[in-house]
Amino acid sequence: MTEVAIDMRSISKVFGPVKALDDVDLVVKKGSIHGIVGANGAGKSTIIKVLAGIYSRDAGSVRVGGQSLGTITPASIEKEGVHFIHQDRLLVPTASVAEAVFLNNEPSFGPFLNIQIMKKEAARLIGEYFSINLNPNTLVRDLSAAQQKIVQITRALANNAKVLVLDEPTAALVAAETEKLFQVLRELQSRGISVVFISHYIQEIMDLCNEVTILRNGKNAGNLLIPDTSLTEIVSLMVDRKTSEMYPPRDLKIGMPLLEIIQLSRKGHFDSVDISLRSGEVLGIIGLLGSGDKQLLKCIFGLDQADSGSIKLNGKEVRFRAPSEAVKSGIAMIPEDRRAHGVATDLTVSENISVASINQYTAHGMVNKLSEAERVDQLIAELGIKTPTRFLPAKNLSGGNQQKVVVAKWLSCDSSVYLLD
């Protein structure tokens, strides 16, 4: 019997002229928790989507439990016992918890669904693995991000998962929820289930995993046993330079107050918030999920309206009724969900970058294509966006490079205040 759960060899994947994966190996042992790390655009999500059958591989081989797989589809890989928890939760919002857990695996009585058994089993599985009481009648859209993760994992377990693959599973979780997820994953490991864990947070990899595969620019940069390595070594392999070189000393002067938030309140979200952001300053806002930090940014950017308080920009009181007014005043916002609010995937890289600043290149109704192209190429180079041409559709970029395009779009506006969610 093979001791390897997943064996992917020499995997390559090309999107148009972009080589997202170049001869990548991924070997996951049975009963292990295997981490995958890499910078934005390294190929983490792409290798997982090849395994999931979302993307077809252009070269290489895939074996699951010792069995060689040809063409892979999402349905066929699930039959092999490999289940996925993607960054996009891919749950039906109007489905109940019970329906989501047993989607395509519904218990039946003859030709009829056994609704009562389905609800009972969903509640039992969630209680057994997560030690929480989640009403099986609750709709998915009414669940928190953490609860939706729980439903996804429970669905995999209800389908007798042998391998569980989690892509950035802690991105929307608070510390207590993350630790609870880790406890569950360790319990699953003790039952012989293999776990593939993709994360940007290296400390999570160190705390949870037995082994880690490091990707850089679509290639293998290393494969290390966690007890034999360090956080510093992993980061150095990710970025191909010493960690001491990542954050060089900055020599800049902090200027006068640029953005001032005075006693700003929004009922049910935040109350009497005071903030002073000075020119040249980076100001962090932290809080638990639901603490109001995201709603505060929306109010500053004109996506929502505060009930009371005031906002000052360069000493002058402002009130933005729409994001367009904030943009004209020099405020930019990079959203949390790039797919929904940041990038238009059917447009080219160039069109995405210049869409918010097109007026800078327009005179008498005509766009100066040369000036636009020069600025777009400059931003592509500065941010290291991995694309062979500015005319490539954004959908052909990796997720990390799409995020860089979103950043470039707002940098092109030369705004004075950047809100990063």
Residue 289's pLDDT is: 65
From 34, 37, 11, 381, select the one nearest 236 (Cα to Cα): 37
The 3-state secondary structure of 232-278 reads: HHHHHHHHCCCHHHCCCCCCCCCCCEEEEEEEEEECCCEEEEEEEEE
From 240, 213, 215, select the one nearest 27 (Cα to Cα): 213
CA dihedral 276, 277, 283, 284 (to 10 degrees): 40
One of 3.40.50.300, 1.10.287.90, 3.40.50.1980, 3.30.2290.10 is the CATH number of 255-329, namely 3.40.50.300
* Residue pLDDT, tens place only, 382-417: 998 888 889 988 888 877 788 899 999 989 888 899
| CA pair distance 362, 360, nearest whole angstrom | 6
Residue 97's pLDDT is: 93
Fold match between domain 4-91+143-245 and domain 255-329: yes
What's the Cα-to-Cα distance from 301 to each of 103, 112, 123, 319, 416, rounded to whole Å?
Answer: 39, 51, 41, 9, 13
**218 close to 21: Cβ distance less than 8 angstroms:** yes
**331 close to 261: Cβ distance less than 8 angstroms:** no
Write out residues in the chain with pLDDT < 70, as ranges. 1-2, 87-90, 172, 242-248, 289, 337-340
List of residues 6+ apart from 164 with CB closer than 8 A = 83, 85, 153, 156, 185, 188, 193, 194, 195, 196
Residue 170's pLDDT is: 82
pTM for this prediction: 0.72
| CA pair distance 375, 347, nearest whole angstrom | 17
Cα 71 off chain centre by = 27
- Domain boundary assignment for the chain: 4-91+143-245, 255-329, 334-420
**125 close to 101: Cβ distance less than 8 angstroms:** yes
Q: Which helix (H) or strand (E) holds 13?
A: strand 4-15
| CA pair distance 180, 220, nearest whole angstrom | 31
Longest dimension (CA), the chain: 74
CATH architecture of the domain 4-91+143-245 equals 3-Layer(aba) Sandwich (3.40)
